[in-house]
Amino acid sequence: MVEAAAAFVAWLGASVVVLSDGRRGLALGVALGAAGIAVIALDVAGPIAAGSIALGGLVAAAGRLGSGREGWHIMPAGSTPRLVLCIAAGLLALWVAAGVATGPGAPLRFTAMVVIGLSGARVLGGEDAPVLFTATGLLALSVALAAGTGLNAPEPWPFLAAAILAGSIAWISPRPVRAA
């Protein structure tokens, strides 16, 4: 039951990243997504993996509060297609994780599919640099979850690398380029 709640929190975080344009909304989204991923990682890969994901997510959220559009900007005008994407991705990943794929680990499969899918869609559809950096950091954390838990004895290295990437990329503050 805890894993299912963590998978929902990860989906909610990825959805907030998809639906937000402001720095507070992006920070909240990456913090929620990392929290959900960390709980799943604790169950399947151990405390070192979960701690690194949680710390990377917190550093990424703190870094995102420093740059980007002011405020929350959750669901600004014209974000209905992004809302439909979040709902459809969640339902599709739930169907695949619980119905099509058999065996234990449905929360892990759901979390990996939905967070990778939503973060990747935001990277491909985003225009603003802070949004792209936030989605890329969350994408790194979710790819580490998928890659690091596929091993028989999960190693902490994919999780540590993803945490470092997510934490460092969020602190990049792009400056507009001016042509002379």
What's the mean per-residue pLDDT of the chain?
A: 88
Q: Give pLDDT tens digits for 132-165.
A: 999 999 999 999 988 876 656 678 888 999 999 9
Between CA 134 and CA 115 the distance in angstroms is 13
Q: For the chain, what percent of residues have pLDDT higher than 70?
A: 91
Domain ranges of the chain: 2-169
pLDDT score of 102? 61
**The pLDDT of residue 96 is above 90:** no
pLDDT value of residue 92 = 87
In this model, does residue 103 exceed pLDDT 80? no
Q: What is the CA radius of gyration of the chain?
A: 16
Residue-level pLDDT at 167: 92
pLDDT tens by residue, 167-180: 999 888 777 666 66
pLDDT at 180: 61
Mean pLDDT value of segment 88-107:
78
Q: What is the pLDDT of residues 108-133, one digit of tens each?
A: 888 888 999 999 999 998 888 889 99
Lowest-pLDDT range of 54-63, 82-91, 140-149: 140-149
Residue type at position 25: G
Please report the pLDDT score of residue 173 as a whole number: 76
Which letter, b or e, does each residue of 34-66 get, where b requires 16 or more Cβ atoms within 10 Å of its Cβ?
A: bbbbbbbbbbbbbebbbbbbbbbbbbbbebbee
